């Protein structure tokens, strides 16, 4: 999906920043918009992994970047909305 204009939700998400602590203790500063897209990507990989596990597929050559990108594009606004409305962030 190609969008020529940002939604108000996107704009609000880009204006709000947060710190994310990596597993090795390194801090990453990013907007909630960015974080929502990362969370959506992690969710997509988790869904794919679970499906492969359910099907008992051993081959890990499953990467489909266009499908993952479409999932992120469809999912991130739900995640972003939840982040912006939860606890009045």
Predicted TM-score (pTM) of the model is 0.80
Contacts of residue 83, Cβ cutoff 8 Å, sequence gap at least 6: 13, 32, 35, 36, 89
Along the 89 residues of the chain, how does pLDDT read in single tens digits? 445 457 899 999 999 999 999 889 999 999 999 999 999 999 999 998 898 889 888 776 767 789 899 999 999 999 999 999 986 55
Q: What residue ranges do the domains of the chain occupy?
A: 8-88
pLDDT, residue 76, reads 95
């Amino acid at each position: 999906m190609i969008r020529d204009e940002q939604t108000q939700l996107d704009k609000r998400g880009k204006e709000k920043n947060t710190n994310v602590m990596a597993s090795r203790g390194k801090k990453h500063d990013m907007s909630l918009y960015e974080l929502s897209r990362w969370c959506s990507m992690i969710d997509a990989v988790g869904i794919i992994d679970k499906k492969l596990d359910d099907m008992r597929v051993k081959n890990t050559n499953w990467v489909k970047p266009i499908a993952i990108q479409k999932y992120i594009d469809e999912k991130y606004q739900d995640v972003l909305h939840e982040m912006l409305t939860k606890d009045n962030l």
